C-alpha cells in the first residue's frame, strides 16, 4: 500500500450529527494511509460515538473539553491549534457551520479553528431542507468568501437521509473524503511544486470571459469569473506541470509559478493559444467562456442614439479555439468545457464528438449556486467511453479531481 499521507498531521473534528458514525471509518482510512490523526469531539458528538472508539482508531487521546486542567498548564489548546497540516470537520452540522461562520469560540473545536492557520475542510451532513435553507447557504458562502483558498467544502451528497427525506445533505463516504485529503497532499507531504504525475509536461489553459468590442466604451461578454480555470491551473502546477494560463479579463490572483498571458478578445485568445501551442503542449484545457460572435464592424467612436426605438448590430462568428487545437496534426490531450442551461449531457456529448475532443467537462450554468461566479461547482466529466459525475464542492477541490481524471485518461491513451 502506498502511504500517500505518510506523516501528514490531520486534526479530525467531529460534531453532533447522526453521520458521526462515518467518522470512525474515516479515521481508520486516514491512519491506513499513514496519517497521524488527532480527534477533537464536541459534546454533542459524544452522544453518537464514544471517545474511546475514536481513541482506539486514531491511537491518540481524544480531546473534548476546552478547559482541561491536565492540558491547560501548557496552553494545550493553542499547541493543538498549531499542530495540524489539515483540519477536517466531519460531519459538519448546520449548527456548527453557523457558529463557525460567526467566529464563536465557546467550545474546544471552535477555539482551535480561531487559533489555527491550517487549511480547513468541512464535510457537511444535515437534513436536506437545512442544507438548502438560505441561512445555511449564506453561512457557507461567508466562509468561502473569508477564507477563499484556505477552506474546502466537500459535499454533501444527494440521497436518502436518516429522517426519511431524499435530497442533498448526506455526508460523503469515508473513502471519498480520504481521497480528497490525498488530493490536497498529492501523495507528497507537503505537496511539492515541480514533482508529480505531470512533471515535465506543458499544460495550456484558457480561462475567464472574452470581451468583444462594439465601440470604444461598449462590449459583448458573459458572466464567467475565471475561477474554475485558475483553480485548474493551480492543480496542474501542483502535479508538476509547466502551466501557461491564457486569461480573459479577470479579477483573480494568478497561482504562484504559473505563467499568465492576459488577453481581451476571442481573436486575441485564439492567436495566443496558437502561438503557445507551437512552443509545445501536452495537455490543453479550454475552460474559458469564449464569445461565439463578435460585431462585424467596430465603431471607432461611441455609437450615439439615432432617435430610433430599435437598433441592430451585425455579428460574425469567432474562431472555435478548442476545435482548432483538436484539429492540429499532433494535437495535445484536449479538454473542452460545455456550459449549458438545458440538455446538459446531450449537448456536451455532441461537442465531444463534433470537435474531436478527448474529454469534456459539462456544467449547468442555469443553477446560480454553481457555475458562473460561484465558489462551488458540480460537473459531468465525459469521454468517448466514460461518464462520471463529480458532486458539488469548491472549485479548488473539484479541479484536483478533474486533473486526476485527465492524468488517468491521458496515461491510458498513451
Domains 9-185 and 202-297+313-413 share a fold: yes
Q: Locate the domains of the chain by residue range.
A: 9-185, 202-297+313-413
Q: How far is CA 47 from CA 17, 20, 112, 115, in A?
A: 9, 9, 21, 26
Catalytically active residues, by annotation: 163
Tens-place pLDDT, residues 341-364: 888 899 999 999 999 999 999 988
- Range with top average pLDDT, 3-17, 251-265, 268-282: 268-282
Tens-place pLDDT, residues 272-295: 999 999 999 999 999 999 999 999
Find cell 464536541 and name the residue: 42
pLDDT at 72 over 50: no
Tell if the pTM clears 0.75, that is, is over it: no
Residue 316: what pLDDT? 95
- Range with top average pLDDT, 14-28, 301-315, 337-351, 355-369: 14-28
Tens-place pLDDT, residues 107-137: 999 999 999 988 999 999 999 889 999 999 9
Separation between Cα atoms, residue 232 and residue 255, nearest integer Å: 10
- Indicate the CATH number for domain 9-185: 3.40.50.1950
Separation between Cα atoms, residue 346 and residue 343, nearest integer Å: 5
Give the model's confidence band at 412: pLDDT under 50 very low, under 70 low, under 90 confident, else very high. low
Separation between Cα atoms, residue 167 and residue 169, nearest integer Å: 6
Cell numbers found for residue 97: 457551520
- Indicate the CATH number for domain 202-297+313-413: 3.40.50.10300
- For the residues 256-280, what does the mean pLDDT come to? 93
Are 60 and 38 in contact by the 8 Å Cβ rule? The answer is: yes
Q: How many CA atoms lie within 13 A of 229 on its CB side?
A: 34
pLDDT at 81 over 60: yes
Amino acid at each position: 500500500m502506498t502511504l500517500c499521507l505518510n506523516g501528514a498531521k490531520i486534526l479530525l473534528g467531529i460534531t453532533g450529527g447522526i453521520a458521526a458514525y462515518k467518522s470512525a471509518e474515516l479515521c481508520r482510512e486516514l491512519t491506513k494511509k499513514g496519517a497521524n490523526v488527532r480527534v477533537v469531539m464536541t459534546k454533542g458528538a459524544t452522544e453518537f460515538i464514544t471517545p474511546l472508539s475514536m481513541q482506539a482508531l486514531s491511537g491518540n487521546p481524544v480531546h473534548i473539553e476546552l478547559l482541561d486542567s491536565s492540558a491547560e498548564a501548557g496552553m494545550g489548546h493553542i499547541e493543538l491549534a498549531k499542530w495540524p497540516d489539515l483540519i477536517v470537520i466531519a460531519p459538519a452540522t448546520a449548527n456548527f457551520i453557523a457558529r463557525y461562520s460567526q467566529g464563536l469560540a465557546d467550545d474546544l473545536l471552535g477555539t482551535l479553528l480561531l487559533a489555527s492557520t491550517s487549511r480547513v475542510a468541512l464535510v457537511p451532513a444535515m437534513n436536506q431542507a437545512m442544507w438548502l435553507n438560505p441561512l445555511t447557504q449564506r453561512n457557507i458562502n461567508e466562509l468561502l468568501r473569508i477564507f477563499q483558498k484556505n477552506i474546502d467544502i466537500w459535499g454533501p451528497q444527494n440521497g436518502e437521509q436518516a429522517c426519511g427525506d431524499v435530497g442533498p445533505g448526506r455526508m460523503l463516504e469515508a473513502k471519498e473524503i480520504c481521497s480528497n485529503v490525498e488530493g490536497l497532499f498529492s501523495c507528497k507531504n507537503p505537496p511539492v511544486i515541480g514533482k508529480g504525475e505531470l512533471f515535465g509536461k506543458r499544460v495550456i489553459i484558457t480561462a475567464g470571459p472574452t470581451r468583444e468590442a462594439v465601440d470604444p466604451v461598449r462590449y459583448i461578454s458573459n458572466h464567467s469569473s475565471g475561477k474554475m480555470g485558475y483553480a485548474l491551473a493551480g492543480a496542474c502546477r501542483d502535479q508538476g506541470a509547466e502551466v501557461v494560463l491564457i486569461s480573459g479579463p479577470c479579477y483573480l490572483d494568478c497561482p504562484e509559478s504559473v505563467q499568465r498571458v492576459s488577453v481581451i478578445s476571442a481573436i486575441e485568445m485564439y492567436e495566443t493559444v496558437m502561438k503557445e501551442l507551437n512552443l509545445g503542449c501536452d495537455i490543453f484545457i479550454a475552460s474559458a467562456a469564449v464569445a461565439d460572435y463578435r460585431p462585424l464592424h467596430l465603431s471607432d467612436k461611441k455609437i450615439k442614439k439615432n432617435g430610433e426605438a430599435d437598433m441592430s448590430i451585425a455579428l460574425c462568428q469567432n474562431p472555435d479555439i478548442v476545435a482548432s487545437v483538436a484539429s492540429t496534426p499532433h494535437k495535445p490531450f484536449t479538454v473542452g468545457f460545455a456550459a449549458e442551461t438545458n440538455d446538459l449531457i446531450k449537448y456536451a456529448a455532441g461537442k465531444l464528438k463534433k470537435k474531436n475532443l478527448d474529454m469534456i467537462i459539462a456544467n449547468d450554468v442555469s443553477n446560480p449556486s454553481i457555475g458562473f461566479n460561484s465558489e462551488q461547482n458540480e460537473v459531468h466529466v465525459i469521454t468517448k467511453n466514460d461518464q462520471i459525475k463529480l458532486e458539488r464542492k469548491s472549485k479548488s477541490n473539484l479541479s484536483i479531481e478533474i486533473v486526476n481524471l485527465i492524468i488517468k485518461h491521458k496515461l491510458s491513451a498513451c
